[in-house]
Amino acid sequence: MIEVADRIKSVEEYYFSKKLQEVRSLDSAEFPIINLGIGSPDLAPHPAVIETLKNSSAKLDVHAYQPYRGIPELRKAIADYYTQYFKVELNAETEILPLVGSKEGIMHITQAFVNPADKVLVPNPGYPTYAAVSNLAQADINYYELKDENNWQLDIASIEKLDLSNVKLFWLNSPHMPTGIQYPKEILQKLIDLAHKRQFLIVNDNPYSMILNQDYQSILSLEGASDVAIELNSLSKSHNMAGWRIGWCAGKKDFIDAILKVKSNMDSGMFKPLQLAAAEALKVGNDWFESLNALYLQRRSLAEQILNKLGCSFDKNQLGLFLWAKLPANISSSEELVDHLLYEYKVFLSPGFIFGTQGRGYIRISLCANENQFKAALDRLQNYHL
C-alpha cells in the first residue's frame, strides 16, 4: 500500500472545496441555491481591462514563457498604485514580485522562510490557509486570539506574553477577514517594534484595503516596517478579478529574492496579456472604487436585513466584502444554523468555526451576490424559524 506523505495527514481539504460540492448537489432549476457564503466577486472588471486582454491576446509575440519576476509594465503599475493609494515608494525592479494570486504567495513565503518546527503565529479567527500551509511546512503553529470583547483588535500586550522564542512568521490580515476590522496604525507600529525586538517576519495579507474603506493602508508605510514586513495583495477583490489569479508580494529586495527562489521552481510566469490587463486594472482611478463601494453599500443594507431576520448581532462599521455576525443566544452552533438554512431555505452562509475556535458562535455573509439574490433570500426567510 502506498502511503501519502506525513505532511498532508494533518491537513484537511479546504472547507469550501468540500462544502460547495454539497451545495451544488442541492441546487435545482426549480429552487436554486442562493450562495451568500463565498467571497468571489460576481461583477466584471473594468471594460478597459477586458479590452486590453482581448487586444493583447491577438498579438503573435505574447504566447511565450514570461519573466519569473513578472513583466516590467505590471511591476511599474503596482509600484505606481502603492505610491498613489498607500504613499509607499517601491522599487519596481527589486521590491515587487507578481504572483499567480496572493494565495500562492502564502505557500511561497512559508517555504522561503520557515523550517520544520519553526513557530508561526496565526490569527484566530483568521483565513484558514495560513494554518494549512504552515502545517504543510511542518511548522509549530501558535494562535494569537482576537476577541469580540476587544472589538477583534490586535492585543499587543497579550502577544508579548506568548512564548516568542523561535517565531519566524507572524501572519497579519488588515483589514481582517472575517471580522472586517482594520487595525490602527499605532497598534501596527507596536507590532513592528516587537518584530524588530524578537526578530520575526510580519506578513500582512492586504486584499480588502479598498473595499468599503476610506482609509487605505499598507503596513509598509510605517516606520521600520521594511526590515521586518512583507505585504501580499491582489486584484481578486478590489478589481473583480478573482478567477484571473493575479496578485503580488512587496517588500525589500532580500525578502523578494528569497521568495523568488521558491516561486521560480514552481511556475514559469503568468500569460503576458493577463499581466498587461492587470497593469491596466491598476490604473483605473479612485472613481472605480467609489462606484464599486456604492454598490456594496446597497448590498450590505440587504445583508443586514438578513442577519436581523436571523436574530444575529453585528458591527455596522465593518470593512471588506463580508459581514461577520454573532449568533443569537438560543443558537450555539454556527454549523447547525448554516446547514438548517441550506437544507430548509436553500440559502448558504459561511459558518464561523471554519475560521478558528474564536469563530464558534458566529456566521459570515458575503456581499458577492446581486440585489435580486439578497431580496430572494429575504423572501425565503420571511417565515424563518429554527
Rounded CA Rg of the chain: 21
The per-residue pLDDT for range 81-101, each reduced to its tens digit, is 999 999 999 999 999 999 998
For residue 116, whether the previous peptide bond is cis, meaning omega lies within 30 degrees of 0, is no
Q: Domains of the chain (ranges plus CATH)?
A: 6-44+286-380 (3.90.1150.10), 58-281 (3.40.640.10)
Query: Between residues 142 and 8, which one has the greater pLDDT?
Result: 142
Residues near 173 by beta carbon (within 8 Å), at least 6 away in sequence: 123, 126, 127, 204, 205, 206
Indicate if the pLDDT at residue 12 is higher than 90: no
User: What residues pair up with 57 in beta bridges, in sequence order?
Assistant: none
262-279 pLDDT, tens digit per residue, is: 999 998 889 999 999 999
pLDDT tens column, 180-222? 999 999 999 999 999 999 999 999 999 999 999 999 999 999 9
Distance CA 202, CA 225 (A): 9
3-state SS class at 335? helix
What distance in Å separates the CA atoms of residue 156 and residue 190, rounded to the nearest whole number?
A: 7
Cell numbers found for residue 126: 483568521
Kindly state the cell numbers that stand for 143.
494562535
pLDDT reported for residue 17: 77
pLDDT greater than 90 at residue 111: yes
**Mean pLDDT over the full length of the chain:** 95
Q: What is the pLDDT of residues 17-63, one digit of tens each?
A: 777 788 888 888 889 999 999 899 999 999 999 999 999 999 999 99
pTM of the predicted structure, to 2 decimals: 0.95
- Across the range 120-142, mean pLDDT stands at 96
Place of cell 455576525: 325
pLDDT value for 70: 97
Residue 258: all three cell numbers together = 528569497
Confidence of residue 237 (pLDDT cuts 50, 70, 90): very high
Complete DSSP assignment for 219-233: GGGSTTGGGTEEEEE
- Please give the grid coordinates belonging to residue 233: 495583495
User: Is the Cβ–Cβ distance between 56 and 186 less than 8 Å?
Assistant: no
Q: Which residue has the cell 477583490?
A: 237
